[in-house]
Amino acid sequence: MSETIGITLEQIDGYEFRVRFDKDSIASLNTDLGEPLGQSRGPNPEHLLNAAIANCLSASLVFALAKFKNKVQSVRATASAKVGRNAENRVRVESVQVNIALPGEAGDYAMLDRVLSQFENFCTVTESVREGIAVDLTVTDGSGRALHHSLAGGAGQGGAG
């Protein structure tokens, strides 16, 4: 099964663009580059990439937990991209670090080991991105204890890419 997901991008001014999504129920979004090129009037592409990866991983984790009758509220995720220059001196996203914090303690969740061993495989965005960019993921509980860690993807890093 294939699906096509579309957007329309319209320049507003300079490097600021309006993104319109192919579903009328989704509000448009303004993006912009940071200074000195843009005016930082919206998220830049790197922000959107971070948001897409963190959102997809978080949603996949919530879905996997729900499969085992876990009720989850207040999941919190942070993501940061390391941006640097490649061999051709072009700016590239080198890696993305994601931290997902679950509320409560690990013992509050049924089948947590099984959930943590498989949820990443269902994240469309992350698994696609990992073919070119290393994504480093950590899942913690409410006390900050690391429950899961994985590093995969990126050229030359032994991952999927």
Q: What is the pTM (predicted TM-score) of this model? A: 0.83
Between 154 and 97, the more confident residue is: 97
Averaged pLDDT for residues 27-49: 95
| Per-domain boundaries in the chain | 45-152
Instruction: Convert the pLDDT of each residue in 57-102 to its tens digit.
Output: 999 999 999 999 999 899 999 999 999 999 999 999 999 999 999 9
Tell me: pLDDT of 128 over 60: yes
Q: Which of 5-9, 17-21, 28-32, 151-155 has the lowest mean pLDDT?
A: 151-155
Question: How buried is residue 4: exposed, middle or buried, by Cβ count under 10 Å (0-12/13-18/19+)?
Answer: exposed
Tell me: pLDDT of 39 over 90: yes
CB under 8 Å, gap of 24 or more: what pairs does 158-161 form? 159/130, 159/134, 160/127, 160/130, 160/131, 161/130, 161/131, 161/132, 161/133
* CATH annotation of 45-152: 3.30.300.20
What's the pLDDT score for residue 153? 76
What's the pLDDT score for residue 157? 42
What's the pLDDT score for residue 155? 60
What size, in residues, is the chain? Answer: 161
Averaged pLDDT for residues 35-50: 95
What's the pLDDT score for residue 160? 32
